[in-house]
A and B are shown apart, each in its own frame.
Chain A
Amino acid sequence: MVIPTIVLILLRFKQLWPYRSVILVTVIAALLVGLPWDYFAAKTKIWGWNEQCCSLPTISGLPLEEFLFITLAGIFISALTITIKQVLNKKGG
């Protein structure tokens, strides 16, 4: 998740900067939806993490890597959508 997000942001930084508030809103929504869901799924034993998997500490049973993943996913989806929208609008004229 890290590499595609960084690549996309570096390639389209100028075009994405005016939409930073949109990206922020998407990240907040991703955290508001994703974290309770992750917590619920871990508690009801839908999925779990091996003890050796994660190097960062856990919060309420969720590895910090999950917080990072959800944040990066929100940034990536938002940036990708804005990029595709701009490319399609450019092609359409």
Chain B
Amino acid sequence: MNLFQLAYLITILVFIGIPFVILWRKNMVSLRANRKIILLVSLSSIPFVAFEFFALKWGAWFYYSERTLNFSFLAQVETYILGPIIMAFGASLTIACTEKLEKEGELFRLPILKLRNRRLPWKALRRAFVVVAATKR
């Protein structure tokens, strides 16, 4: 086995592992309280991972043997690691966002959304329009 065969595993750790760790560090309290939900969602990935068996059989995609561990049981062994990590990351992000939504009532704080709820200053606008119209004449 050479280092190149760890490429798939390394990309999983870099592209999913790093955001996952950052997310957990920022929302440790709420995610810890909901770890049961995250675990259930992660475990539900296992039937979907087995789906890869059919995808590989049908030739939907393929793996280069130089870049994977070349050990498979229905699916590549890296996919059995990838599936739960992706589900855990998605579940963690969802829980962090739902907690924020339930706590603060909104996820995004866009200024334009706040303007919609404010009454526009019609008198000032009308005055400005009159002034502009008068100067143009």
Are A and B bound to each other?
Answer: yes
Contact for B64 among A30, A33, A48, CB less than 8 A: A48
Q: Do A74 and B90 touch across chains, with their CB atoms under 8 A apart?
A: yes
User: Interface size (A, Cβ < 8 Å)?
Assistant: 32
Given contacts A77-B94, A80-B41, A81-B91, contact A48 B108 (CB under 8 A): no
For B97, the chain A residues whose CB sits under 8 A away are 21-22, 25-26
Main secondary structure of the interface of A (DSSP, over half): helix
Cβ of B111 within 8 Å of any chain A Cβ, yes or no, is no
Contact for A85 among B86, B89, B90, B95, CB less than 8 A: B95
Cβ of B81 within 8 Å of any chain A Cβ, yes or no, is no
Cβ of B34 within 8 Å of any chain A Cβ, yes or no, is yes
Report B8-45 CB contacts with A as 1/0, cut-off 8 Å.
10010001100100000000000000101110110010
Contact for B94 among A37, A73, A81, A88, CB less than 8 A: A81
User: Interface size (B, Cβ < 8 Å)?
Assistant: 36
A29 nearest CB across to chain B (Å): 6
Q: Do A22 and B11 touch across chains, with their CB atoms under 8 A apart?
A: no
Q: Do A81 and B37 touch across chains, with their CB atoms under 8 A apart?
A: yes
Most buried by A among B38, B62, B91: B91
Given contacts A22-B94, A29-B93, contact A46 B61 (CB under 8 A): no
B13 nearest CB across to chain A (Å): 11
B94 nearest CB across to chain A (Å): 4
For B15, the chain A residues whose CB sits under 8 A away are 33, 36-37, 40
Top 6 A-B pairs ranked by shortest CB distance? Answer: A77-B90, A37-B15, A81-B94, A22-B97, A81-B91, A46-B67
